[in-house]
Chains A and B, each alone.
Chain A
Amino acid sequence: MKKTFNLVGKPVIRQDGYSKVTGKARFADDINYPDQLFGVMVRLPIAHARIKKIDFSEIENHPSVITICTAGDISGSNISGIIKQDQPVFCDQKIVTPGDVVAMLVGEDEELLRQLAGKVKYEIEPLPALTDPRKALDSDAVLIHPESKSNLIVHYPLRKGDIERGFSQSDHIVEQTYTTQLIEHGYIEPETVIAIPLAADRSVKIIGSIQNPFTARRIVAQALDLPLTRVRVEQAELGGSFGGKDDTMDILSARAAVAALKTGRPVKIRYRREESVLESYKRHPYILHYKVGFSREGKIKAMKIDILADGGAYASMSPFVTWRSVAQATGPYEVENVCTDVRAVYTNNPYTGAMRGFGSPQPIFAQESIMDEIANQLGKTPDEIRWINCLHSGSITATGQKLEKHDVNLIKVLDTAVQKTNFSRQWQACKDKNKSILPFIQKTHASQADKSLLLESEDLVAPDLLLRKGIGLALSYRGCSLGAEGIDAAAAYLSVQPDGSLYLVSGLAENGQGMRTTFSIIAAETLGLSVEDIHYLELDTGIVPDSGPTVASRSTLMGGGAVKIAAEIVRDRLQKFLCDFWKLNKQDVLCFEKNKVFSESDPQKTLRFSEVCQLAYRKGVCLAAIGWYPGPKVDWDESVGQGAAYFTYVYGCQVAEVTVNLGTGEVYVDRVVAVHDPGKVINLLGAQGQVYGGVTQGAGYGLWEEISSADGFIRELNFDQIFIPTSKDVGEIVPVFVEGDDQHGPWGAKSLGEPTLELTAAAIANAVRNAVGVRFFNLPLNLEEIVLKRKLKPGGLKRGSAV
């Protein structure tokens, strides 16, 4: 066991950095083939309809249209889906949301094809559009997918203890409803894919901005009715994903592949921003109803939780996303009696799927808001109420799982965050100071049930009195990797060359987060090399085993684990070879450090790593290995939501300090202190970057971002309307890492990417409550929410929104 690290935990420059700062990195749209064609989508401007006839007569003989692809061209299955099979590659029966595609025009002139796409004629039978998820399960609701007999995508119940007894033992009960909004991933690179037909063996190669190459391969193979080996998917440099380049890209890959095989030429599809926003899936809006019973001392006795998620038109990842919600909905608290129901339903809205956070930011917003309300009611501070209830080593979670075999650092992250920000003092001070405005708010709107902050004309307030400071915190635990959601294992391939340099690749995908660098550090640390000695290969489904999806912040834990195993296999072989070569005892320990290998007992025996490899290679030692890291077993009883949901957890606490302008409703985030236990930090520079980026996204979710729709049609289709944070929008962010020991993952390294995002909106909401004394129940906390307590939306679609 190593005590000190040469690379792990230090700031390491990204391996792909050079290509990215020079413009040499090849993103999908930077790749072109000489005789490539373009594919352009045909959509019908309706959210829900039966298709009766699509008439291409006006354009099919146009010289620029080389072919038109429709459902009829799909030799395999036209219906795809990662979990549930419900999404057509090309719609031929029904349209269920405005992003749906009925056909693809293929030709050389992309611009012209876009114009021709508008000339396709059609006959449809319009159906009523179901856009309110609360009505989806009504007996008279129109069915989105009639074959599934109901609009229910999934229902997860969780039952623990005796909920009624829990409430009867409670001194107080709070009951509140929270809502969260639909948002766009907002990767800056829109979707692009190219399919290249390989005529010689009737196979096809796909290159694209694809988050999960193995999933894309499966969907393409299924659509073309080809064996998996005939479809090779290569990932281009990915310009951001955050969970968003999966289903959409799989289907785009299938469309491109169909056209490529039909025409015998490479076919490229590239989306403009508007098209990307229109068709790609988003983050689930939730409606969350919480009823919490607690004692006068502040101990939570019972939680009854009802969550409804709008899955939109297709199931996509809804079953997995909402599964995480049901497992974690109580938050990181010991609650004896829990009754949770999470449902996801179909509507005609844009469909929702995986997005960084994956079913956690929504319940965290509700549960952390309620914790603060309980504190307020009992005259306690937010940290006190969490102290009383939070999980510690040996605690039983809501799913009945005992937390053990790792450092349960929840209290540690809470303490660290509280100390770093002088939390209780600041919180109390803001609360006392802001008391002065409450009578004023009440006077202004004594008659209104919901206390809005709207000032009336006679209320003249000095501008500086309008600025109110507040501080708030949010706390979470998060199950690592897929948990009982899916099959969990990952592979890495490592091949050392006779000169000591080496190739590395894992079956997980670089999404821009810096995974390749992290994996290179792990391999380099194990073999005593430097990161520059490692050449990370492009991910290609043809060269490394399927490792499942790059989601759930599982890459460092699972893929990193596989890299370490592969490197150890090679190291052990070299060790054995050298022991023979140097005639040492088998028990002798060799050190691999600074590009050298030497014997601990006899420092005379030293060779350069490259010399060792050269010698071993000549003696026929195999210097390549596949590392396979299977996740430990988890178990789950779906009928009651009980079991060991995840094999390990990470913990985080964020504190937000805000200034609220009561006149305009503007909330400015002055500072966020983000304390996270990611297990072990592998690349400090990358870990800090994850925190800065995640917190900023979380602030956007909390304060500005929202995709709204009218009759299923999205109003905000480009960055003039989608407000993702800019360089000026968020104040200081302070990352703090608390490391914990864990038997899983490389040296105990687990997850970080998602925890950084999931807490921020909740912490901001609590800070706003502290600043103005009013609780807000609906994200985002934008200007009108703060001032009017409701959302202002244009009645219909905004102008110029047609694609």
Chain B
Amino acid sequence: MTIELNFTINEKKITLKTEPNRRLLDILRQELNLTGTKEGCAIGECGACTVVMNGKAVNSCLVLAPQINGAEILTVEGLEKDQRLHFLQENFLKHGAVQCGFCTPGMLMSAYALLSKNPNPTEAEVKEAIAGNLCRCTGYKQIIDAILETEGDIK
């Protein structure tokens, strides 16, 4: 059985036929070749697969195909515009928030979702927003600093 899905990814409209038991993560990585979004655990614990869906950070390994019909999705590939990095990305670089980089796309998307709702978060709010994103390399400090510096207008 296949179903037809209509949704928007990184401001592009997409129509796609797929099986209803496909995960959003598979659709991104395998069907749309958007491999920036990563798989680390497949059970919603590591956050490497985080994307922004309808303004909220979600684990794309836990989202099934039918759920994305009509949705607006932003992935890490959609942050850079006209070859200019998003402030958030620049601050990640400036603060050394990236080591191996495997958690980075998910971190960026959790941070993006936080800042679009709450442009001036406290440190505690930042920690809360990325508490579902595991990073084994950085100890989080430089990631938190990068997000705090991006406060304000993120669009």
Contact = CB atoms under 8 A, between A and B. Distances in A.
B148 interface: no
B52 interface: no
A16 interface: yes
Interface string A505-519: 000000111100000
Which label, helix, strand, loop or mixed, suits the secondary structure of the B interface?
A: loop
Nearest to B77: A23
B95 to A, nearest CB: 8
Given A17-B93, A21-B89, A512 B36 contact: no
A696 B139 contact: yes
A20 B127 CA distance: 21
Contact of B134 (A18, A513, A694, A726): A726
B1 to A, nearest CB: 16
Given A23-B35, A719-B41, A188 B135 contact: yes
B36 A727 contact: no
A186 B42 CA distance: 15
A237 interface: yes
Nearest to B34: A23
A184 B128 CA distance: 25
Which label, helix, strand, loop or mixed, suits the secondary structure of the A interface?
A: loop
A603 B69 CA distance: 69
Interface string A244-282: 000000000000000000000000000011000000000
Contacts, number: 169
Contacts of A17: 92-93, 98
Given A21-B89, A22-B80, A719-B134, A692 B45 contact: no
Nearest to B106: A188
Interface in B106-155: 108, 126-128, 130-144
A549 interface: no
A728 B125 CA distance: 10
A689 to B, nearest CB: 5
A629 B39 CA distance: 39
B57 interface: no
A445 interface: no
Given A686-B96, A689-B99, A720-B43, A189 B137 contact: no
A685 interface: yes
A720 B43 CA distance: 8
A688 B34 contact: no
A725 B130 CA distance: 12
Given A13-B94, A23-B35, A273 B77 contact: no
B92 A21 contact: yes
Given A689-B142, A719-B134, A20 B45 contact: no
Contacts of B143: 727
B104 interface: yes
A20 B85 CA distance: 12
A707 interface: no
Contacts of A22: 36, 76-77, 79-80, 85, 89
A597 B26 CA distance: 53
A686 B29 CA distance: 30
Q: Which of B40, B76, B100, B140 has the most CB of A within 10 A?
A: B100
Contacts of B85: 18, 21-22
Contacts of B48: 188-189
Given A22-B79, A189-B40, A727-B131, A239 B96 contact: no
A689 B146 CA distance: 13
Contacts of A27: 35, 38, 102
B101 A20 contact: yes
A14 interface: yes
A688 B131 contact: no
A21 B104 contact: yes
Interface string A426-467: 000000000000000000000000000000000000000000
Contacts of A11: 96
Nearest to A692: B139
A693 B104 contact: no
Given A188-B48, A240-B136, A728-B131, A24 B99 contact: no
Contact of A20 (B94, B104, B139, B142): B104
Interface residues of A, number: 56
Given A13-B94, A728-B131, A190 B40 contact: yes
Contacts of A524: none
A663 B130 CA distance: 28
A23 B37 contact: yes
A719 B140 contact: no
Contacts of A237: 100-101
B143 to A, nearest CB: 8
A16 B101 contact: yes
A14 B37 CA distance: 21
A720 B41 CA distance: 9
B79 A512 contact: no
A187 B105 contact: no
B103 interface: yes
Contact of B98 (A14, A190, A688): A14
Contacts of A697: 136, 139
A727 B144 contact: yes
B53 interface: no
Interface in B14-67: 29, 34-43, 45-46, 48
A701 to B, nearest CB: 12
A512 B79 CA distance: 23
A30 interface: yes
Contacts of B38: 27, 188-189, 239
Contacts of A26: 35
Given A189-B40, A719-B46, A727 B140 contact: yes
B36 A238 contact: no
Contacts of A511: 100
B138 A188 contact: no
B106 to A, nearest CB: 9
Interface of B: 29, 34-43, 45-46, 48, 75-77, 79-80, 85, 89, 92-96, 98-105, 108, 126-128, 130-144
15 contacts: A11-B96, A21-B76, A21-B92, A25-B101, A27-B102, A273-B41, A273-B43, A512-B137, A513-B99, A689-B139, A718-B45, A719-B41, A725-B139, A727-B143, A728-B131
Give 8 closest A-B pairs by Cβ, nearest first: A23-B36, A512-B100, A239-B102, A20-B101, A692-B139, A696-B139, A719-B45, A685-B96
Given A14-B93, A237-B101, A689-B138, 18 more contacts: A14-B96, A21-B76, A24-B36, A26-B35, A189-B100, A190-B40, A238-B100, A239-B102, A240-B102, A272-B42, A273-B46, A512-B100, A513-B100, A514-B99, A695-B139, A725-B139, A726-B140, A733-B139
